[in-house]
């Protein structure tokens, strides 16, 4: 889906680092990465991080220990979203919002620990679940959030509640003789009202409901929020008090329809309300259910922190997978299992072979400069460096390049060139190289697609991080480019008049050699002038001479010549 291996970070979240589904995905991601970089396994340590308690397995996979976010082995997976396992969440919402969510967890933790039992929300919720399950025979609990952002919250609670309290053996090893964990399920409330609420209101099963709603909409629109809250409040009232036959008759309902329109009422529900769905509110809500689960487990005398029930299926799956992939193996399961494996063996063999994934095109990036031509083949780490200078022609460059590449395959070429380039064509001969560059047919000479761009623009493209960026390359001369919302434009700011000469003259390498202090001041002055004129969000200084600047002005970033190679690869993004 448009991802590039060289710019992708993989987060492998697995407590044991052995979970079959997770590790299968991790190995597929690793294979994809390695295929793009010529099998260089050192790339794994740079593109993968792990969230795990099994650091030995992490290291064996190829992830450096310093790139592993560890947590305690007693933290169960279903209780771990506020531990290191939440790293991907923190990346998505930002560290401040994640810290706010943790504060919400902590607030509910403190409430559970300190509040008197009669005002302790997790205790009350847990005892109600025990009450309905053990004294009224309720087998399920419906969680009904009136907020679309919580559409997956019931599914999240399914693991928390059912993996924790789905037990039939007490902590002392004896079998229970009473019901334990209920089945949790649910959907956003407005969806449910038009589907399963009928059964909740008038069915033969008692289904306690948890309604969740918020006073303020995250996306306000007209009176939508008022109607949403009216619905949730009305549903709780209808479940509690129902509608008697007398009330139905008083509405003039035909006698034959009266029994069908009676609502018994006295059906339990809890209405959980908060001002706004914030990270803190979400943290408190999750912690509320966590402590409710623990309360129920204490009453039932079961262990909510193990999950032996998931192990048998995992073990058998490994055996079945082996038998599927080795169809000559004799099957020794029951008749039903054998038949299912045999069916899939046949279906698998009859299915057309999946087409091999096309190899990703390999880009050769050339950064042509007045003193050197630098080349890097995508997937390799070592760049090629060829001495250039005033005698360097395109023919000489390509001859030296072929010798240095030693037959290495590439599918396309990006070239950053130190002269004006318009629509991919060099329009002026370069000042510091030989002649013959204008009109030279690089695609014919290299026998592949070639894209040419100004060298500063290529490094700018590799340095770009969004918004409006001004790039200035401090090298032999002054390169410049502007990128606005992803659109790159090479500029020729270097030759604009400044004082008695031009911008380039006063920040060139030759001027720096003679007037080091003045050169430094000139760079800062020119940055100030160009920022006033072009209004960039930030400035990136590239080129070798940026290393002669110890400090940079605010919102000016130090570039890296290696970004030219990244820009060369990005030049083909529209062809992905």
The structure tokens 């080349």 sit at 375
Within 10 angstroms of residue 518's Cβ, the number of other Cβ atoms is 12
Within 10 angstroms of residue 133's Cβ, the number of other Cβ atoms is 23
**How far apart are the C-alpha atoms of 479 and 296, rounded to whole Å?**
69
Selected catalytic residue, list 27, 41, 151, 314: 314
**For residue 6, what is the DSSP state?**
G
Q: What residues are paired with 366 via a beta bridge? A: 375, 415
**How far apart are the C-alpha atoms of 494 and 479, rounded to whole Å?**
7
Clarify whether 163 is annotated catalytic: yes
Clarify whether 41 is annotated catalytic: no
User: Strands 478-484 and 487-491: what pairing?
Assistant: antiparallel
Selected catalytic residue, list 66, 174, 194, 444: 194
Q: Beta strands of 351-502 (E only): which ranges?
A: 363-368, 372-377, 384-387, 412-417, 421-422, 425-426, 450-454, 468-474, 478-484, 487-491, 497-498, 501-502
Selected catalytic residue, list 15, 47, 111, 163: 163
User: In the 3-class helix/strand/coil scheme, how is 223-267 assigned residue by residue?
Assistant: CHHHHHHHHHHHHHHHHHHCECHHHHHHCCCCHHHHHHHCECCCC
What b-and-e string marks burial along 220-235, b requiring 16 or more CB atoms within 10 Å of the CB?
Answer: eeeeebeebbebbeeb
Order the strands of the 10-13 sheet from edge to edge.
10-13, 48-51, 68-69
Clarify whether 15 is annotated catalytic: no
Within 10 angstroms of residue 15's Cβ, the number of other Cβ atoms is 19
H helices within 62-152, ranges in order? 87-93, 95-114, 121-135
Cα of 515 vs its chain's centroid, Å: 49
Token pair listed for 308: 């032996």
The structure tokens 């260089």 sit at 40
CA distances for 284 relative to 4, 82, 90, 164, 279, angstroms: 38, 11, 17, 19, 9
Helix (H, G, I), strand (E, B) or coil at 42: helix
The residues, ordered by sequence, that sit 6+ positions from 298 with a Cβ below 8 Å of its Cβ are: none
Nearest Cα neighbor of 367 from 157, 561, 226 is: 561
**How far apart are the C-alpha atoms of 37 and 32, rounded to whole Å?**
9
Token pair listed for 416: 């950053």
Q: What residues are paired with 502 via a beta bridge? A: 497
User: Strands 372-377 and 384-387: what pairing?
Assistant: antiparallel
Residues recorded for the chain: 576
Within 10 angstroms of residue 515's Cβ, the number of other Cβ atoms is 13
Catalytic residues: 163, 194, 314
């Amino acid at each position: 889906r448009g991802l590039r291996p060289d710019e992708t970070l993989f987060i492998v979240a697995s407590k044991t680092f052995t979970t079959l589904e997770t590790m299968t995905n991790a190995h597929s991601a690793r294979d994809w990465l390695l295929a793009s970089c010529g099998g260089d396994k050192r790339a794994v340590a740079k593109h993968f991080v792990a969230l795990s308690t099994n650091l030995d397995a992490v290291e064996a996979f190829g992830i450096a220990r310093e790139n592993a976010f560890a947590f305690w082995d007693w933290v169960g997976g279903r209780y771990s979203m506020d531990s290191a396992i939440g790293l991907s969440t923190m990346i998505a919402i930002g560290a401040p919002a994640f810290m706010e969510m943790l504060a919400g967890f902590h607030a509910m933790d403190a409430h559970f620990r300190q509040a008197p039992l009669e005002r302790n929300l997790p205790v009350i919720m847990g005892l109600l679940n025990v009450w309905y399950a053990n004294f009224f025979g309720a087998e399920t609990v419906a969680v009904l959030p009136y907020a679309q952002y919580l559409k997956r919250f019931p599914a999240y609670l399914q693991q928390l509640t059912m993996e924790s309290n789905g037990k039939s053996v007490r902590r002392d090893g004896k079998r229970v003789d009473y019901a334990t964990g209920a089945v949790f399920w649910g959907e956003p409330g407005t969806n449910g009202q038009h589907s399963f609420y009928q059964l909740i209101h008038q069915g033969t099963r008692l289904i306690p409901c948890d309604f969740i709603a918020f006073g303020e909409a995250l996306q306000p629109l007209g009176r939508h929020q008022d109607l949403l809250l009216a619905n949730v409040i009305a549903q709780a009232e209808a479940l509690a008090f129902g509608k008697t036959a007398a009330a139905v008759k008083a509405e003039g309902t035909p006698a034959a329809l009266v029994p069908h329109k009676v609502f018994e009422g006295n059906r339990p529900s809890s209405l959980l309300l908060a001002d706004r769905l914030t990270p803190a509110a979400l943290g408190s809500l999750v912690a509320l259910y966590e402590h409710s689960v623990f309360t129920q487990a204490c009453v039932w005398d079961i262990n909510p922190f193990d999950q032996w029930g998931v192990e048998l299926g995992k073990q058998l799956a490994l055996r079945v997978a082996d038998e599927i992939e080795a169809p000559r193996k004799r099957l020794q399961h029951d008749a039903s299992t054998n038949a299912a494996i045999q069916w899939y063996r046949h279906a698998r063999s009859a299915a057309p072979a999946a087409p091999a994934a096309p190899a990703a095109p390999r880009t050769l990036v050339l950064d042509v400069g007045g003193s050197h031509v630098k080349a890097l083949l995508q997937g390799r780490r070592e760049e090629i460096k060829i001495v250039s200078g005033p005698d360097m022609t395109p023919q000489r460059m390509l001859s030296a390049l072929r010798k240095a590449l030693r037959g290495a395959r590439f599918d396309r070429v990006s070239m950053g060139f130190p002269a004006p380039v318009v629509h991919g064509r060099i329009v002026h001969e370069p000042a510091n190289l030989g002649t013959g560059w204008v009109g030279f047919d690089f695609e014919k000479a290299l026998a592949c697609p070639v894209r040419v761009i100004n060298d500063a623009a290529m490094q700018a493209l590799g340095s770009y991080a969004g918004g409006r960026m001004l790039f200035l390359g401090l090298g032999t001369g002054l390169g410049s480019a502007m990128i606005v919302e992803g659109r790159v434009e090479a500029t020729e700011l270097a030759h604009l008049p400044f004082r008695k000469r031009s911008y380039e003259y006063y920040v060139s390498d030759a001027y720096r050699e003679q007037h080091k202090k003045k050169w430094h001041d000139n760079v800062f002055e020119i940055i100030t002038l160009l920022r006033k004129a072009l209004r960039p969000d930030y400035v990136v200084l590239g080129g070798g001479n940026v290393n002669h600047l110890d400090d940079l002005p605010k919102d000016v970033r130090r570039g890296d010549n290696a970004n030219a190679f990244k820009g060369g690869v990005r030049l083909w993004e529209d062809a992905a």
